[in-house]
Amino acid sequence: MRQLVSWVASACVGFVRACVVMVVSMLVPAVWAAAVALWIWWGGGPWSWTAPFVWACIGTLALSRPVCRMVRSLVAKWTGTVIPAVYRQAGPVTQMSTGYWWNGYSYERTSRDARLDQRWRTRWRDPALRRDLRFTAIAPVTAGVVAAVPPAGAAAAIFGLFQPSPAMRVAGVLGAVVAVAGAPYAWRAVEPVAVRFLRPSPAMTLADRVDELTAQRADTTIAQAAEIRRIERDLHDGAQARLVALGLSLATAEKLMETDPDQAKALMREARAGATTSLTELRELVKGINPPVLNERGLIDAVRALALDSPLETAVSADVQLRMDPPIESALYFGVAELLTNAVKHAHATRARITIARDDTGIVVQVEDNGRGGADVRAGGGLAGLHRRLAVFDGTLEITSPAGGPTHARMMLPCASL
């Protein structure tokens, strides 16, 4: 009995899904059918087909991307198969010194005109447009036809069973059998069709990867320039100024050595204190660039040392000692430092837990705090910079931070040297 109920539920769900697939896949053919009907209604003159044909083309272009997005969403929801869209994204619009706006293709007088022109040019030149149009032409005669079997069987059953003719009633019974038997399976044809014709081609994937790497290179260049400016500023305002003062103190002490030895000794003591302070500042600067403990003892010990210096009550758990390439260790170390800083500064957390582990693909670092939550990746923020730093190594950053906390961050970097 339980199996019968389960099968009936599966048939009902399958029938609804088949109807949805049929409707979605037949949207574009319905536009062309309406265009043909309009042409027939106008009388079929020599040029009367022009307007319906133009409107059908416009409707096809307008519906192609929404139809493909609906199909991807349905496939992901029903089967768990995620099909990447890979659409080209419009770049920034820049105002030039002449007052015109450059959108990557042409100059326009206003920002609105530049963005509108850019949006249409980007979509028209996107290889995904041809892919979507191809799918809207193939889907109706493949997944759409298969999905239409249960609704067609149900329609035949309703029509035939209410007819007085025995032959029609037999046809109605057969239609009901076809509808019920095919309902759990008819909608499933949409998955292989969508995977085959909606997935990005190798050329599209490569182009998208090139764009991503170009953006990462620009971000890395900007970050390196900012880091160099920070180092120069710290050296100029800190250690350099103290070393200049140290030189002046030593020169004055040298002149006072014979005339006022006590004052010369005092200046020497001040110079020694200044030298100690300068050495401390230089060590802190070097630590901020590349912590010595990271080079000497690896990521896990460096993170443990960072946890000891943190004002949070931080627990660190890790697998056996891992040694990776220095750039990967540096990226993860400064990622943990950024997350702990955010936990103290923004989330007002009191405790944190750091977990370092490895799996089949790479290393996973998780940082969880008991703060107030609400963390998100904003443009120009520290988390956005951390995301860019990890993306250089094909890494990912996942943030789960509901209002009220806790905040859970997961960094993953593929690493073949584990």
Does one domain contain both 257 and 310? no
The total of structural domains in the chain comes to 4
Cβ-contact 318, 356 below 8 angstroms: yes
Does one domain contain both 163 and 54? yes
Q: What is the mean pLDDT of residues 252-268?
A: 72
Q: What is the mean pLDDT of residues 4-33?
A: 84
Q: Give residue 1's pLDDT.
A: 64
Does one domain contain both 247 and 269? yes
Does one domain contain both 8 and 154? yes
Cβ-contact 374, 364 below 8 angstroms: no
Domain holding 370, by residue range, is 297-414
Does one domain contain both 368 and 237? no
pLDDT at 75 over 80: yes
A 10 A CB-CB count for 19 gives 18
Q: Give residue 418's pLDDT.
A: 47
Does one domain contain both 349 and 264? no
Q: Give residue 413's pLDDT.
A: 82
Does 72 map to a domain?
yes
pLDDT at 190 over 80: yes
Structure tokens at 405: 């906390």
pLDDT at 33 over 80: yes
Per-residue pLDDT tens over the stretch 191-229: 888 888 888 767 666 666 666 666 656 555 555 656 566
Q: What is the DSSP letter of 200?
A: P
Residues in the chain: 418
CATH number reported for the structural domain that contains residue 360 in this entry: 3.30.565.10
Per-residue pLDDT tens over the stretch 364-375: 888 888 877 777
Domain end position, chosen among 170, 200, 230: 200
Query: 364: closest CA among 377, 373, 354?
Result: 354
Does 260 map to a domain?
yes
Q: What is the mean pLDDT of residues 283-289?
A: 59
Which range, 30-39, 101-110, 320-329, is most confident? 30-39
Does 30 map to a domain?
yes
Does one domain contain both 75 and 168? yes
Per-residue pLDDT tens over the stretch 141-160: 898 888 888 888 888 888 77
Does 205 map to a domain?
no
Give the separation between CA 198 and CA 120, rounded to whole angstroms: 21
Domain end position, chosen among 289, 316, 333: 289
Domain end position, chosen among 269, 289, 309: 289
The CA distances from residue 282 to 243, 250, 295, in Å, are 11, 20, 17
Q: Give residue 380's pLDDT.
A: 59
Mean pLDDT is lowest, of 61-70, 92-101, 115-124, for 92-101
CATH number reported for the structural domain that contains residue 273 in this entry: 1.20.5
Say how many Å lie between the first and final Cα of the chain, rounded. Answer: 53
Mean pLDDT is lowest, of 62-66, 128-132, 177-181, for 177-181
Three-class DSSP category at 106: coil
Q: Give residue 117's pLDDT.
A: 83
Does 264 map to a domain?
yes
Query: 216: closest CA among 414, 396, 389?
Result: 389
Q: In which band, very low, low, confident or very high, does the pLDDT at 96 lie, cut at 50, 70 and 90? A: confident
Give the separation between CA 30 and CA 25, rounded to whole angstroms: 9
Structure tokens at 114: 């530049």
Cβ-contact 392, 220 below 8 angstroms: yes
Angle at Cα 263 formed by Cα 257 and Cα 266, nearest 5°? 110
Query: 363: closest CA among 406, 389, 399, 332?
Result: 332
Structure tokens at 324: 């990776």
Range 285-295 burial, b when 16+ CB lie within 10 A, else e: eeeeeebebbe
Does 207 map to a domain?
no
Burial classification of residue 268, based on how many CB atoms lie within 10 Å of its CB (0-12 exposed, 13-18 middle, 19 or more buried): middle
Give the separation between CA 233 and CA 160, rounded to whole angstroms: 87
Structure tokens at 256: 């006072």
A 10 A CB-CB count for 220 gives 14
Q: Give residue 323's pLDDT.
A: 67
Does 208 map to a domain?
no
pLDDT at 50 over 60: yes
Q: What is the mean pLDDT of residues 267-288?
A: 66
Does one domain contain both 113 and 133? no
More confident residue, 279 or 182: 182
pLDDT at 42 over 80: no
Does one domain contain both 353 and 244? no
pLDDT at 89 over 70: yes
Does one domain contain both 321 and 226? no
Per-residue pLDDT tens over the stretch 333-356: 888 888 888 887 777 778 888 888
Residue 338 pairs in a beta bridge with none
Does 279 map to a domain?
yes
Give the separation between CA 171 and CA 161, rounded to whole angstroms: 8
Does one domain contain both 58 and 106? no
Does one domain contain both 174 and 39? yes
pLDDT at 80 over 80: yes
Average pLDDT of every residue of the chain: 77
